Chain A
């Protein structure tokens, strides 16, 4: 067994699966995963808000788990299976949660939306028939400054009930 070592200023290749495709890009040790996805792989649906794990805008799916991409580093994601908002539905289409968001006006500026949609994907897989309290519990990990959350809660409950 050997320890992998990357020197502070070393640039190296990170290879991962992004929305079903093998992709690679260049990183250095301190590069945040969200910055790698945006700047190297052009996944601009990953929104960078607070950069310290609080706001939830950068939430993505890593190996199926909804996690922050601003508090992990590109080097850690080598070999990972990543889904961003771009991968939640085929290009040009919306999935049922996205359609429910449109129907219920669950977004205004839309900055927080990609992160919430990624969280909901993992959440509904684990909690298929959630009640309002469970939805609000999951949503406490996201900050939305436009909607007051009511329409987001309604959209998620509607999408869950329609499944």
Chain B
């Protein structure tokens, strides 16, 4: 199918985008890589009056790093992020998640910000951002604000973004040098929507107890969820993978759809969490012993 007729705008800078958004609000759709908006336009799931093409705004394509945080512009192309040394070094969890995002051909065009803006429940980049404890930077004529990823995603395709706001960047806390990470998912075919995905970051101390832990599940509920794991801090690392897999399986309220039943998603959650935690643990021990 073809999209409805729309007005096309191609601004050169962010203030031009926010000026347009303040006039048009929810009648406008932001177009970056088009890997999510394109299909929705073509299938007429969305019928915007105006499409604002931000794909040529260079200021949105930068990756910058301070001692504590990596800031990725919303327009950074997924395959550029995948080949970025800064991301491989400072945000290993994102580097592990990116190969699961769509296919080579869609990652050549899709952006980090686009995936977050779209908020598909099974999307990998939002899950990685939630587990990292990152934030979404939003800009409008009213000003700039930061929303923690754990609050940003409200439901399927629904976020905290207001109609006059543009996502300009994502902020990712830098990984500790002794942290271990893992990202795993199960889909019908690699690159398809995840039926379930698990992401884990953790640190273990010298006596092999869990010092830091973050665990998230994607594709199971209507948004990426962070599992409450506070009571596992200080636990011995030995049995933690099995304990966490059982805890995660009872913590989630799975969706049911054409690709999987709720029971199947619960079973996948358990399996994926056990594998992801074991893998993150192995990496954390290796890095700890190497320091």
Instruction: Report A's interface with B, CB cutoff 8 A.
Output: 1-9, 28-30, 32, 35, 51-54, 56, 59, 65-68, 70-73, 75-76, 119, 122-123, 137-138, 140-142
Complex CA gap A141/B99 in Å reads 13
Is residue B106 within 8 Å, beta carbon to beta carbon, of the partner chain? yes
CA distance A4 to B104 in the complex (A): 30
A29 and B7 form a contact (CB under 8 A): yes
Residues of A within 8 A of B148 (CB): none
Using a CB–CB cutoff of 8 Å, the interface residues on chain B facing chain A are: 1-13, 16, 20, 31, 34-35, 38-39, 41-43, 49, 51, 53, 55, 79, 99, 102-106, 108-109, 189-191
A29 touches B6 (CB 8 A): yes
Q: A53 and B38: CB pair below 8 A?
A: yes
Question: Are B5 and A70 in contact, CB atoms less than 8 angstroms apart?
Answer: no
Given A8-B6, A30-B4, A71-B35, verify A137-B105 contact (CB < 8 Å). no
Closest CB in chain A relative to B46 CB, distance in Å? 12
A5 lies within 8 A of B106 (CB)? no
Query: Given A1-B13, A32-B42, are A68 and B106 neighbors across the interface (CB < 8 Å)?
Result: yes
**What are some 27 contacts across the A-B interface (CB < 8 A)?**
A1-B12, A1-B16, A3-B10, A3-B16, A3-B20, A5-B9, A6-B8, A6-B9, A8-B49, A29-B5, A29-B8, A30-B4, A30-B6, A30-B41, A51-B42, A52-B38, A53-B106, A56-B103, A67-B108, A68-B109, A70-B42, A73-B34, A73-B53, A75-B53, A140-B189, A140-B191, A141-B103
CA distance A98 to B27 in the complex (A): 46
Smallest beta-carbon distance B83→chain A, Å: 9
Q: Which residue of A lies closest to B11 (CB)?
A: A3
A123–B108 Cα gap in the complex (Å)? 11
Q: How many A-B residue pairs have CB under 8 A?
A: 120
Least CB distance, B228 to chain A, in whole angstroms:
35
Chain A interface mostly: loop
Contact residues in B for A140 (Cβ distance below 8 Å): 103-104, 189-191
Please judge, given known A-B contacts A52-B39, A65-B108, whether A8 and B7 are in contact too, CB under 8 Å: yes
Q: A1-B13, A6-B8, A53-B106 are in contact. List 9 more A-B contacts (CB 8 A).
A: A4-B8, A7-B7, A8-B7, A51-B2, A53-B35, A68-B38, A70-B38, A71-B34, A137-B99
Q: Is the CB of B104 within 8 A of A72?
A: no
Contact A71–B39 (Cβ < 8 Å): yes
A2 to B17, CA, bound (A): 11
Neighbouring B residues of A59 by C-beta, 8 Å: 105
Residue of B nearest to A3 (CB): B11
Residue of A nearest to B108 (CB): A65
